[in-house]
Amino acid sequence: MRAARGLRKDVVETCQLLFQRGWVANHDGNITVRLDGDRYLATPTATSKGNITEGSLIEVDRSGKRLAGTGRPFGELGLHLAVYSRRDDVGAVVHAHPPHATAIACSRGNPIERPFIAEAVVSIGAAIPKIGFAMPGAEATGALSAAVDDVDAVLLANHGAIAWGADVEQAYLRLELLEHLARIAVLAQPLGGVQPLPDSAIKSLLERRARAGLGKAADNAVRTPGQHSTTPDRATTHESASPASPDASSATLARVIREEIMRVLDQSVTK
């Protein structure tokens, strides 16, 4: 695991990205990272993501109780903890209100639920569900828990979006992909709307997702006895595994997918 100091730096840099990209307003958005044992690094409540510093981050336990730091835990912490409780492979959770994703989250329907770009299936899963609106607390946590095993990002109805991954970079990139898909879906609306991928493509894409060590349910769906027995749930952004990896082609595939996603996102930023 990255040293605690490095993790704090990662969180602050990601907060800056959320702020600079206009994915948060006021005190919106929050980030957590799983530390050793029953400890989680978290952004404090009531602070603009543009003003978060390494020293202002707090540490909490799995019940949400503050263990270190002076700031207070944020109200949506239960959503993050629900993800960690169901996914041992997850090391970070990022929540924000990106405008296009939130526009869909606050509208009727969900044009990004069924995947229309292959990378979405590999990076996030077979669907991007919209979790029904729930007041913060146990109700919201329960609603999210049902989706956590199957996918790595969801829309939160009348609220925003949340994504998770092996580390804060991967969680952020998944949120970025979700927002990118939402923007495409909104742009496609006057053209008749996005055309989902054929169902026949989904299964093979999910197999690629599993072979790349991404996600959880997909791994279980295609794992056979003895396969991947030494690489349990290695969901990681650092897919460029060593050549000695038992599945070097998976590592290559994951790298190609990641580069493709970055290329698409770079284009969207420069245009």
- Residues at the interface with Zn ion (CB under 5 A): 160
Q: Work out whether the CA dihedral 160, 262, 206, 225 comes out positive or negative.
A: negative
Given the complex with Zn ion, which of 111 and 160 has the nearer CB atom?
Answer: 160
We find the least distance from the C-beta atom of residue 255 to Zn ion, in angstroms, to be 32
Angle (nearest 5°) at CA 193 between 192 and 195 = 110
> Shortest approach of Zn ion to residue 174 CB, angstroms?
16
125/160 with CB nearer Zn ion = 160
Q: How far apart are CA 87 and CA 165, in angstroms?
A: 10
| Closer Cβ to Zn ion, 91 or 160, answer by number | 160
The nearest distance, CB 150 to Zn ion, in angstroms, is 22
- Nearest residue (CB) to Zn ion, 78 versus 160: 160
In the complex, least distance from residue 31 CB atom to Zn ion, rounded to whole angstroms: 12
The amino acid occupying position 60 is: V
Characterize the bridge pairing of strands 30-34 and 92-96.
antiparallel
Closest approach of Cβ 80 to Zn ion, in Å?
11
Q: Which is nearer to Zn ion, 130 or 228 (CB)?
A: 130
Closest residue (Cβ) to Zn ion?
Answer: 160
Q: Residue 27 or residue 223: which is nearer to Zn ion going by CB? A: 27
For residue 60, the SS3 value is strand
3-class DSSP state for residue 38? coil
182-198 burial, b at 16+ Cβ within 10 Å, e below that, comes to bbbbbeeeeeeebeebe
In this complex, which beta carbon is closest to Zn ion, that of residue 102 or of residue 237?
102
Listed residue (160, 85, 159, 161) closest to 124, CA to CA: 161
Nearest approach, Cβ of 52 to Zn ion (angstroms)? 15
Closer Cβ to Zn ion, 112 or 162, answer by number: 162
Query: Least separation, in Å, of the C-beta of 158 and Zn ion?
Result: 10
Is 227 exposed, middle or buried (CB count within 10 Å of its CB: 0-12, 13-18, 19+)?
Answer: middle
Closest distance between Zn ion and the C-beta of residue 24, in Å?
A: 8
Helix (H) or strand (E) holding 102, with range, is: helix 99-105
- DSSP reduced 3-state for 32: strand
Listing DSSP states for 150-207 in one string gives: T-SEEEETTTEEEEEESSHHHHHHHHHHHHHHHHHHHHHGGGT---PPPHHHHHHHHH
